[in-house]
Amino acid sequence: MNFKYKYTFALIVTFLFLCVTACSQPQGKVLLSKELTSKILGQKMYYSIYLPPSYFLNTKNRYPVLYLLHGFDGDETSWIRRSNVDHLADSLINSKNITPFIIVMPDVSNSYCINNYNNTFSYEDFFVSELIPYINSNYRTYPNQENEAIGGLSMGGFGALLIPIKHPGLFGVSISLSAAVRTPEIFMQLPQANYEKKFASIYGDSLKGADRITEHWKNNSPYYLIDSSNADTLKRINWYIDCGMQDFLFSSNDAFHDLLMKYNIHHEFHMRVGEHNWNYWRDGFINSMVYLGKKWNSKK
């Protein structure tokens, strides 16, 4: 059964923001812009990581992981700089809304989390084959689907939808905030300047109209990748989608919700009053972490 919600968790949000200001809380630790040399990309890549308050107290404990992706023109520090996500995570953990967990915030480099059309920047391969194994080898994680989640906003929200569709055994939970998904019709109609700035390096230079709907685009579009052949596999993933009703991406998010309904893929679709901005995403992060906490707690 699928749900379309028109509400906010106002009391939860208020309570949690009050908790954030409490100086007596145990605090986690953020390691900013850690370096990882990628053989696939042939360059250094960066990630920031949040380790929960208990991480250094008991060195035998292992933790579930959330991979949290930034938006276009962001980097591995965006979630820390723009929303103080480490303080929000501390508050959520200390108020017992979620079990202690690790947050990995990689630099996505405006890649939309996919390999580009000419394979000169294979970000998806890096993320799946290098970053995740590296994190599991160097931090005390639970390297299994039930204890790994992926989330993101805008471009990162697109990645949080697409990567589980293409690699359904990796993540048990997908959380997308204002995901930059676009139907074929919307993608064809993008102003040319917008296309060249954001998508030419990913899908091909100077493409216009229907010529933009290439095989590469289809192979990286949720609207083409979800069908009856993989619906049962995708039902194993917990999908959480949140988009503001005044967001320019709302119609595409609503269309993605309809696509999941078509194939009876259980999910939550939240829509609230709000636009494409950090005020919306901060509240969305808190609400989605309450959801994530319930999913992780149910697996204990």
What are the structural domain ranges in the chain?
Answer: 3-298
pLDDT of residue 23: 52
Q: Is the pLDDT of residue 13 over 60?
A: no
Exposed, middle or buried: residue 191 (CB in 10 Å: 0-12, 13-18, 19+)? exposed
Please check whether residue 238 is in contact with residue 174, taking contact to mean a CB–CB distance below 8 angstroms.
yes
* Three-state SS letters, 258-288: HHHHHCCCCEEEEEECCCCCHHHHHHHHHHH
Please check whether residue 133 is in contact with residue 154, taking contact to mean a CB–CB distance below 8 angstroms.
no
pLDDT of residue 14: 42
Please check whether residue 287 is in contact with residue 15, taking contact to mean a CB–CB distance below 8 angstroms.
no
Q: Is the pLDDT of residue 8 over 60?
A: no
Residue type, 182: R
Please check whether residue 135 is in contact with residue 141, taking contact to mean a CB–CB distance below 8 angstroms.
yes
pLDDT tens digits, one per residue of 84-130: 999 999 999 999 999 999 999 999 999 999 999 999 999 999 999 99
pLDDT tens digits, one per residue of 266-300: 999 999 999 999 999 999 999 999 999 999 987 65
pLDDT tens digits, one per residue of 218-265: 999 999 999 999 999 999 999 999 999 999 999 999 999 999 999 999
φ, ψ (nearest 5 deg) of residue 223: -70, -25
Exposed, middle or buried: residue 273 (CB in 10 Å: 0-12, 13-18, 19+)? exposed
Q: What is the mean pLDDT of the chain?
A: 93
Closest alpha carbon to 118 in 207, 211, 205: 205
Q: How confident is the model at residue 144 (pLDDT cuts 50, 70, 90)?
A: confident
pLDDT of residue 297: 85
CATH superfamily of this structure's domain 3-298: Alpha/Beta hydrolase fold, catalytic domain (3.40.50.1820)
pLDDT of residue 298: 77
Instruction: Please state, in angstroms and as integers, the Cα–Cα distance from residue 49 to each residue in 55, 65, 91, 260, following that order.
Output: 12, 10, 17, 32
